[in-house]
Structure 1
């Protein structure tokens, strides 16, 4: 039930004050601007409170308005104040705190009863008194600034040589200078004495006997030889150039009939979820260790940090502070970026602060549920990509579905492109690989080798004479955007289903190459832009993603530039349970991790399950 507050003739600069439940039901409000703020409050609930991505700041902006709010997790209430963004009010934290205390004090019995949503809340008089008191206190604190002291009143004017010579002075060099001035005996030398001393030193130097040089041993004369070329081990010769030339197919290279034939048919349909080594049984063991009062062995994992809160009625911020520091170190040890770890801890604290604890046995389950719910909500992407569905829709429109791969050097773009290509041909899609990496030596040859392997696994006779994988190449040193455009046109003319564009690796700070990538994406407008990153990196992953997104937005002249749509996480089989890179990338972009590389064969491709990552994080 919405209870509207009356209008006051107050000089306050607050436009709207409201108390509502986390479900969106307004219990009391005060509207001094006489306008509707429904959309503003709805955006606050949708963008901040539900996602908890910015809940640590307690501040939200929309257009020319600003919202400062406070959460009451005990009663699931939100206290919010809306005001003009250009106005700086330093008493809002105190106002919200006093509002919360007064509101709970007056309606404690009603709020804890079942009838709380059908009750009338008359909070107008208490709010006006609280607001007046807080504003007066703020005016007393913000007094006029003190007048500047004159030079004679300052301590600098009283300094002299004696004051500089202080035993407690930190300037040791000044002390030595003063000691030399006051204590060093005076030495007076005339010009004649100086000339006499200099002549004496010169005579001693001239009359000094020089020791004869030691004779050098004679070396036997050797015949002069000309410059000889250096011979490298396993260097080869010009005769081996024909054998080492891989630019053309050799007869023995096309004989792949039985190569890895056991993986054919294993990747049909949806990508299988990744299984992380952490399950509910391990979590149950952790709960038993925490809930057992007589247990002496120390338990591991995040849940063990909350053993110190046993016996508390309500969780306070101060009580959680030391635990959150340990939790932050735990997240960083799992390879989570430091900034992301801080935000995760703040969000978890916001979710737990003010919660009422029951008996000793329920503490572990409460902590586990709160942590899991908060982390899953934060790490869940904004949308889920279904490439097979989108590719079928593009095929029905008689156009190729285009995917562009980008990333830094050496992360495995070409290798994972081949894995994704294998998954697509397993689902009966014909694929054209566009070799747009025209910088790295051997990039085109690498894709040509993958094309031969994939066509050997799925020969044309299995698909009614249709070649499943083709390579579109124009050599090295060419414009990547032009090659991609020609490849897409070729795929459209020859009715190829999907185009995979392989781009050159580039560092996120390389402006010319980032402009080239932005041009390729702007000109060709692919359906999907995938960022390929390593699971081994921590803070670097955040820096790469942020700068790639920023460059794609800055160097594009479109009003709505096409930025990264999804993430491919490579080398995931090398990190054990250190899943921090996945958490950092998903948190910073809000985009899903579409594929996870877990090995070196074409079938080593998985989909990332957020719940599995959270379980590994809490291990």
Structure 2
């Protein structure tokens, strides 16, 4: 027998036990507890006062509402089409500039190389600008990646317009100035895209955060990507939040044309290692409102994917 009649109006007391279970489920899948609570509260506010048919259908009804809410979070209003934006910038006679930032050891250089590979596959010419002037071996690591990408693309694709080169001025120099010179060189040499590698830094290191903020303010990149590890879950969320706040505190506030901002896109590495523990992706987009542009799913240059929001929701709710 049904617990209530067909046109029963939902009350908070009907939803609380179901949402409590769903909240615990989200937390178990690595969604930050505070965000899981807010998500469930927003679903409750939306559903209270609605009519449902039977108690047996109520759990599915609430779960579907939560899934739709999460899907909206993973699909931010700003629809980022990088290739289209690159073309628009090139049509105006300038290269499209992407700055990569993040904490130490998350794989910024490797994922920069993966994105370079993706751009090359789409017939874009790429200039990588080495602005990690701190870490020993950083420039050599980029040079190794670029040599490998040249072998893949320039030697096997003679009819393609894609090419990749490195712009570097050695260690111990001012990263802001190197980025500026590199972008100018790319513009004069008609490169389509500049990929700016920066030094890994902890978000609490104020001098290094100030230097990164200066690089972004002066050079006005079209896209500033935060590279974080999916594997570390809520630690990556904390890093992103604090990184973003540190940049904002150091003057990286949006300009009227939105060309200068703090972080406005996310790359999640090691996404293939987390199975269904996908909650960090939800937390990062919920907190920042910024899209996850790419996820790294393996070791090769081709192991880079656009985020499949529906697949993430399925993994999260199973």
Same fold (TM over 0.5): yes
User: 1:334 matched to which residue of 2?
Assistant: 29
- Structure 2 counterpart SS, 1:462: coil
What is the deviation of 1:455?
A: 0.4
Shift, 1:493, TM fit:
1.3
Other-structure match for 1:504: 199
SS across alignment from 1:536:
helix
The TM-score, its normalising length taken from structure 1, stands at: 0.48
Number of the residue aligned with 2:311:
612
Residue 281 of structure 2: aligned partner: 582
Distance apart, 1:390 and its partner CA:
0.9
- Between the aligned partners of 1:466 and 1:362, the Cα distance in structure 2 is 57
- C-alpha distance 310-424 of structure 1, shift in aligned 2 (>3 A): farther
1:198-347 alignment to 2 at 5 Å? Answer: 310-311=3-4, 313-347=8-42
Alpha-carbon shift at residue 609 of structure 1 (Å): 2.0
Match of 2:270 among 553, 571, 585: 571
Deviation at 1:378, TM superposition (A): 3.5
CA offset digits 1:570-590 (Å, max 9, x no partner) = 100110011101100110011
Deviation at 1:466, TM superposition (A): 6.5
What is the aligned counterpart of 2:152 among 453, 457, 466? Answer: 457
Counterpart-to-counterpart distance in 2, 1:609 and 1:442: 34
Contact 1:400 1:496 in 2 (8 A): yes
| Offset, 1:434 | 0.6
Q: Give CA-to-partner distance per residue, 1:35-70, whole Å, 9 cap, x none.
A: xxxxxxxxxxxxxxxxxxxxxxxxxxxxxxxxxxxx
For residue 529 of structure 1, give the secondary structure of its aligned residue in structure 2: strand
SS at match of 2:232: coil
Which 4+ stretches in 1 moved above 4 angstroms? Answer: 464-467
Partners of 2:87 and 2:165 in 1: how far apart?
19
Q: Aligned runs of 1:527-546 on 2, under 5 Å?
A: 527-546=222-241
Superposed CA offset, 1:433-484 (max 9, x none)? 0111111111111100001100000125734596711011111111111111
Deviation at 1:373, TM superposition (A): 2.4
Partners of 1:526 and 1:396 in 2: CA distance: 17
| 1:392 aligned residue | 87
Q: Secondary structure at the match of 1:531?
A: strand
Distance in 2 separating the partners of 1:491 and 1:557: 24
Equivalent residue in structure 2 for 1:477, among 165, 168, 172: 172
Unaligned 5+ residue runs, structure 2?
A: none
**Distance between the aligned counterparts of 1:342 and 1:557, measured in 2?**
30
Alpha-carbon distance in structure 1 between the residues aligned to 2:115 and 2:39? 32
What residue is the counterpart of 1:380 in the other structure?
Answer: 75
Given that residues 315 and 353 in structure 1 are in contact (C-alpha distance below 8 angstroms), is that contact kept between their aligned partners in structure 2? yes
Deviation at 1:329, TM superposition (A): 1.8
Once the two structures are superposed, residues 173-197 of structure 1 have per-residue CA deviations (whole angstroms, 9 ceiling, x without a partner) of xxxxxxxxxxxxxxxxxxxxxxxxx
Contact 1:535-1:571 within 8 A present in 2 as well: yes
Count, aligned residues: 312
Instruction: Report the RMSD for the aligned CA atoms in angstroms.
Output: 2.1
* 1:419-458 alignment, distance < 5 Å: 419-458=114-153
Distance in 2 between residues matched to 1:345 and 1:570, nearest whole Å: 28
Is contact 1:419–1:603 with CA below 8 Å preserved after alignment?
yes
- Cα contact 2:32–2:279 (8 A) shared by 1: yes
- Does structure 1 retain, via aligned residues, the 8 Å contact 2:106–2:269? yes
Q: Which runs of 5+ in 1 are unaligned?
A: 1-292, 294-308
> Are the equivalent residues in 2 in contact too, given 1:460–1:467 (CA < 8 A)?
no
Q: Tell me, in whole angstroms, the C-alpha distance in 2 between the residues paired with 1:467 and 1:332.
A: 44
1: CA distance, partners of 2:189 / 2:167: 12
> In structure 1, which of residues 563, 588, 591 is the aligned counterpart of residue 290 of structure 2?
591
> Given that residues 253 and 262 in structure 2 are in contact (C-alpha distance below 8 angstroms), is that contact kept between their aligned partners in structure 1?
no
The 2-side partners of 1:331 and 1:388 are apart by: 34
Instruction: Give CA deviations for 1:102-152 in whole Å, capped at 9, x if unaligned.
Output: xxxxxxxxxxxxxxxxxxxxxxxxxxxxxxxxxxxxxxxxxxxxxxxxxxx
Hey, what's the Cα distance between the residues in 2 that align with 1:558 and 1:614? 32
TM-score (ref. length: structure 2): 0.91
- Residues of 1 paired with 2:118 and 2:3: CA distance? 51
Higher helix share: 2
Q: CA-to-partner distance for each residue in 1:572-614, whole Å, 9 max, x for gaps?
A: 0110011101100110011111101000001101111222222
SS at match of 2:231: coil
SS at match of 1:403: strand
The answer to whether the 8 A contact 2:99-2:224 is kept is yes
Aligned partners of 1:559 and 1:443: how far apart in 2? Answer: 30
1:616 shift after superposition? 1.5
| Alpha-carbon distance, 1:365 to partner | 4.4
Residue correspondence of structure 1 range 15-414 to structure 2 within 5 A: 310-311=3-4, 313-359=8-54, 362-414=57-109
Query: Deviation at 1:549?
Result: 1.8
